[in-house]
Amino acid sequence: MFKTDSAERQNSVTVTLDGKSVSLPAGMNLAAALFAMGETISRISPTSHQPCSPHCLMGVCFECMMEIDGLQRQACLTEVQDGMVIDRHLDDDKGAAA
Ligand code: FES
């Protein structure tokens, strides 16, 4: 869906995504950067308990909310920065819908 060009790959930084170190392009829109690496789920809906994905990529739908450096923030309005800690809490709802 989204691909980075070679210049962006050269300026990559290391972030922590759900406890794992990953490399993302510095300064890129976080939601787009995660899409580019195949990560399409942003969170688990607290009401439907279903996975959500960023939808509008312009700050309107709030489907990209995730914990970024300890705060709930919109990934589509956040630039990738070195050392960023992202937690989508994808496992928090295991068994809730069962
Ligand atoms: S993707 Fe819609 S607010 Fe971020």
Which atom of ligand 1 is found nearest the CA of 65? 4
Q: What percent of the chain has pLDDT over 70?
A: 84
Q: Is the CB of 31 under 6 A from ligand 1?
A: yes
pLDDT higher at 46 or 97: 46
Reported confidence tier of residue 9, pLDDT bands at 50, 70, 90: low
The alpha carbon of 74 and the centre of ligand 1 are apart by a number of angstroms equal to 6
pLDDT digits (tens, 9 = 90+) for 14-51: 999 999 999 999 999 999 999 999 999 999 998 999 99
Q: Judge whether 92 lies within some domain.
A: no
Is the shortest distance between the CB of 73 and ligand 1 below 6 Å? no
Q: Which tops the pLDDT comparison, 93 or 10?
A: 10
Ligand 1 centroid, distance to 31 Cα (angstroms):
8
Question: What are the CB-based long-range contacts (under 8 Å, 24+) for 46-52?
Answer: 46/93, 49/93, 49/96, 49/97, 50/97, 51/90
Residue 94 inside a domain? The answer is no
Q: What is the CATH number of the domain that holds 81?
A: 3.10.20.30
Domain count, the chain: 1
76 lies in a domain? yes
Structural domain harbouring 57: 6-87
